[in-house]
């Protein structure tokens, strides 16, 4: 086997040049690479799924009540806002002679 000599006089094995992969090796390497990506992704999905916690009945009731209160509060707010805008626009149109 060929030996290379370093600057300080030590001998080490010469580096072997790698050959370019053939077309079959490229295809099989790509398939293996894709397969590894898919299995890695699925193992990550499984790990994240294990972290999921189902909320208790008390937590569901609390969040549901917060949502219902917020929906009614926003509904009331938009009802009042709509009423005010309707009155203002009606008055403006009436004064301009657009609405009878």
- Regarding whether 43 and 69 lie in a shared domain, the answer is no
pLDDT band at 97 (very low <50, low <70, confident <90, very high): confident
Render pLDDT for 31-40 as a digit per residue (tens, 0 to 9).
677 888 899 9
- Regarding whether 75 and 35 lie in a shared domain, the answer is no
Record the pTM. 0.48
Q: Which domain holds residue 74?
A: 55-100
- Regarding whether 47 and 60 lie in a shared domain, the answer is no
Mean pLDDT of 7-33: 65
CA distances from 92 to 86, 95, 96 (A): 10, 5, 6
- Regarding whether 76 and 37 lie in a shared domain, the answer is no
Residue 2 lies in a domain: no
Contact present, 21 and 29 (Cβ < 8 Å): yes
Query: Phi-psi region for residue 63, left (φ > 0), alpha (ψ -120 to 50) or beta?
Result: alpha
Q: How far apart are CA 23 and CA 27, in angstroms?
A: 6
């Amino acid at each position: 086997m060929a030996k290379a000599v370093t600057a300080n006089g030590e001998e080490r094995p010469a580096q072997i040049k790698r050959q370019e992969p053939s077309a079959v090796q490229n295809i099989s390497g790509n398939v293996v690479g894709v397969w590894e990506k898919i299995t890695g992704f699925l193992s990550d999905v499984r790990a994240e799924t294990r972290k999921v916690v189902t909320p208790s009945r008390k937590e569901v009731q609390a969040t549901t009540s917060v949502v219902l209160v917020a929906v009614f509060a926003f509904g009331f707010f938009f009802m009042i806002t709509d009423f005010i805008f309707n009155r203002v626009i009606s008055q403006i149109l009436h004064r301009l002679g657009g609405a009878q």
